[in-house]
Amino acid sequence: MSELPLEILPELREALRDGRPVVALESTIITHGMPHPDNIETARRVEDAVREAGALPATIAIMDGRIHVGLDAERLERLATARDARKLSRADLAACLARGETGSTTVAATMICAHLAGIEVFATGGIGGVHRGAEESFDISADLQELSRTPVSVVCAGAKAILDIDKTLEVLETLGVPVITRGSDAFPAFWARDSGRPSPLRMDDPAMIARAHRMRARLGLGGGQLIANPIPSEAEIPMSRIAPLIEQAVEEARRDGIAAKSVTPHLLGRILELTGGESLSANVALVLNNARLAAEIAKALCETE
């Protein structure tokens, strides 16, 4: 087998060849992160936001055993309504392709596919991290390792507040991943602008973030950058309000024995119920905000040696 099972939409292939800005987008948020039809509506709005900001969107997924970089309308619809799509990370990406199956890509798998396609920037909602109780469960998202290996800058709204944020930041530091918050000294926590922890680094200018990305490559450091972009104030759910609901959802999940890949989708779904839908509106707002910043960074990268 010599050729990669990689399908890049023609407009993206041309843009990448010509050095024009492209932003990768993930698909687990579509299959496991939001209910239908909010998932497809959000996916379309995020693509539009990237275009309006002057870059091209490349939503990534595995369909029928091929990596798709850029999904046409029919494929996006099919993925958004698929009941059996797998949630893929580094460990199971190749197996899904070998079997000819369909699956959505997490942050880790999207980084791998984006890099294969030559895309350097990627927008998501929140990365996976160290789960609460990891000292017992050892549940640490493969997203963290991927950030230390694959040279893609990932724009997120921080780590999801369902996680142990202190431990997540510690692991990122150990792995040598730069954590850069845009426009704030505090590391954000997805639905909330302030996790209560200082951000290891702060940069306010997308051009500076692009320069740091290039500098890492020149130094041969490998791996990517984590760019944390706080949710817009008008959409945030402050920690004081969301924290008790998260506690409740985490406790229920522990009691019910929810584990491994199911933890994050389960908690997101439960918190959506407990907030009466407010967590979903916040999630949509933060992803749109991240798509815009990722487009600015992609444009800056095109102008940075």
User: Which residues contact ligand PSU by CB under 6 A?
Assistant: 26, 28-29, 32-33, 106-107, 124-126, 128, 141, 143, 261, 264, 268, 283, 287
- 26 labelled catalytic: yes
Q: Which CB sits closer to ligand PSU, 120 or 143?
A: 143
Q: Which two tokens stand for residue 212?
A: 């740091």
Tell me the residue type at 103: G
**Cis omega (within 30 of 0) on the bond before 37?**
yes
The least CB distance from residue 272 to ligand PSU, in Å, is: 11
For ligand PSU, the closer of residues 125 and 178 by Cβ is 125
**Encoding tokens for residue 146?**
């991927």
Report the nearest approach of ligand PSU to the CB of residue 261 (Å): 5
The least CB distance from residue 126 to ligand PSU, in Å, is 5
Using the structure block, give the residue that is written with the tokens 């954590």: 179
Is 185 among the annotated ligand-binding positions? no
Q: Are strands 179-182 and 201-203 parallel, antiparallel or unpaired?
A: parallel
| Full DSSP string of 112-138 | HHHHHHT--EEE-S-B--BBTTHHHH-
Q: Please say which residue, 102 or 283, places its beta carbon nearer to ligand PSU.
A: 283
299 carries an active-site annotation: no
* Ramachandran angles phi, psi of 233, nearest 5°: -50, -40
CB of 51 to ligand PSU, least distance (A): 20
Q: In sequence order, what E strands does the chain have? A: 6-8, 22-25, 56-63, 66-69, 86-88, 103-105, 121-123, 153-156, 179-182, 186-189, 192-198, 201-203, 225-228
Nearer to ligand PSU, 221 or 259 (CB): 259
DSSP 169-200: HHHHHHTT--EEEES-SEEEETTEEEEEEE-S
Q: Which is nearer to ligand PSU, 137 or 304 (CB)?
A: 137
Q: Is 87 annotated as a binding residue?
A: yes
Residue nearest to ligand PSU (CB): 125
223: left (phi over 0), alpha (psi -120 to 50) or beta: left
Whichever of 15 and 288 has its CB closer to ligand PSU, that residue is 288
d(CA 173, CA 152): 17
Is there a binding annotation on residue 143? yes
In DSSP terms, 58 is beta-bridged to 24
Residue 139 marked ligand-binding: yes
Beta-carbon contacts of 214 under 8 Å, excluding residues fewer than 6 positions away, are: 301, 304, 305
Residue 168 tokens read as 């997540």
Which residue among 120, 160, 236, 299 is the active-site one?
A: 160
**Minimum distance of ligand PSU from residue 128's CB (angstroms):** 3
Q: How far is the CB of 87 from ligand PSU (least distance, A)?
A: 7
Residue ranges for the binding site for Mn(2+)? 139
Tell me which residues are annotated as active site.
Answer: 26, 160
Residue ranges for the binding site? 87, 107, 139, 141-143
Residue ranges for the binding site for substrate? 87, 107, 141-143
